[in-house]
Amino acid sequence: MKHNLKITTIVLLTFLIAQFIGIGILYNYIDSAKSAETGKTEFKDLPIGERPPIEEETSFLPIILAILIGTGLLLVLIKYNLMLIWKLWFLIAIVISLTVAWSIFIRKEIALLFALGLGIWKIFKPNVWVHNLTELFIYGGLAVIFVPLFNLLSVIILLILISVYDAYAVWKSKHMITLAKSQTKAKVFAGLMIPYKVGKIVSKPKKKVLVGTKLTKVRTAVLGGGDIGFPLIFAGVILKVFGLWQSLIIPFGALLGLAVLLWKGNEDKFYPAMPFISTGCFLALGVVWVIGLFV
């Protein structure tokens, strides 16, 4: 088992909550009036500008290219220890995502102020609670940006390509492991971070073993941001193509895939999560299809 039962349960529940929050944000972004006119699901405009002009049929190509370029740039920043640039880059992404996520519920100016404040706190004064709280909403904001760019076929291809890339990056090139370790060390990790212990600083000779709410030297369960964001984008496309209740099935499939990985994984090994999560998403899509035959 990758982590103990308590930590595994927390990771799985937090993952599931992030998926449902994201679907809720996406659902509120649906433009009902425009959808009724066009006969297909339409989304409201973003509070930060227009979405990229990408064709749905081939949208997976520029997304994959952007991921590869971004990964390459991040590796360069890590190699030359330019972590301040990475922190500022990460801060911009956080502020944009949170502003998009919250603007559907509150005025965009207020959403921007909250996003900026929490983003700065998250990056420059890392805290377990602030970090994970913002992670719950970040991927909903990203999904609002990207879900309208995909159709069912293109998002399926995206998950397959991401799963292959994730497996290669962890098991073959191992650069994903380098990224995860470097981000965790710099305390700018994109994803969930669940420490085994949270409390006051307790010191033993020559070694601090407990660090309170700060993200430092204590064993921590992590789940990468992509492992949260990509299944949410998939669920969002199901929402767009089929409907709300169908999209709510997808997170349970993704959860099953993640649970299998955490249950079968060994404590001291790194694993690519996306092959497991994507398999769960596809199984859930099969369930949606079967239910659709009888409803």
Give the whole-angstrom CA distance, residue 127 versus residue 117.
13
Give the whole-angstrom CA distance, residue 88 versus residue 155.
29
Residue range 84-101, pLDDT digits in tens: 898 999 999 999 999 999
CB atoms within 10 A of CB 269: 8
**Which pLDDT score is estimated for 207?**
39
> Across all residues in the chain, what is the average pLDDT?
90
In whole angstroms, how large is the CA radius of gyration of the chain?
A: 19
**Taking Cα atoms as reference points, which of 177, 169, 219 lies closest to residue 194?**
219
Q: Looking at the domain assignment, is residue 286 inside a domain? A: yes
Give the whole-angstrom CA distance, residue 168 versus residue 95.
31
End-to-end CA distance of the chain: 39
**Contact predicate 99/142, CB 8 Å:** no
pTM for the full predicted model: 0.92
Domain that holds residue 229: 5-190+225-294
Q: Looking at the domain assignment, is residue 200 inside a domain? A: no
Burial 41-78 (b: 16+ CB within 10 A, else e): bbbbebbbeeeeebebeebbeebeeeeeeeeeebeebb
Residue range 138-148, pLDDT digits in tens: 999 999 999 99
Give the whole-angstrom CA distance, residue 240 versus residue 152.
9
Q: Sign of torsion, CA 123 125 126 129?
A: negative
Q: Looking at the domain assignment, is residue 217 inside a domain? A: no
Please state the φ and ψ torsions of residue 53, each to the nearest 5 degrees: -80, 80
**Which pLDDT score is estimated for 180?**
80
Residue with tokens 């990475």: 86
**Contact predicate 240/29, CB 8 Å:** no
Q: Looking at the domain assignment, is residue 240 inside a domain? A: yes
**Which pLDDT score is estimated for 11?**
95
Q: Looking at the domain assignment, is residue 60 inside a domain? A: yes
**Contact predicate 163/49, CB 8 Å:** no
Residue with tokens 């033993």: 204
Q: Looking at the domain assignment, is residue 147 inside a domain? A: yes
Show the DSSP H helices in the chain as ranges.
Answer: 5-28, 32-38, 60-79, 83-103, 108-124, 128-146, 152-167, 175-186, 225-241, 244-247, 250-264, 274-294
Q: Looking at the domain assignment, is residue 15 inside a domain? A: yes
Residue stretches of the chain with pLDDT short of 70: 198-217
- The domain tally of the chain equals 1
**Which pLDDT score is estimated for 217?**
57
Phi-psi category of residue 174: left, alpha or beta, with phi > 0 → left and psi -120 to 50 → alpha: left
Residue range 201-255, pLDDT digits in tens: 333 434 333 334 454 557 788 899 999 999 999 999 999 999 999 999 999 999 9
Give the whole-angstrom CA distance, residue 149 versus residue 53.
8
**Which pLDDT score is estimated for 81?**
85
Q: Looking at the domain assignment, is residue 207 inside a domain? A: no
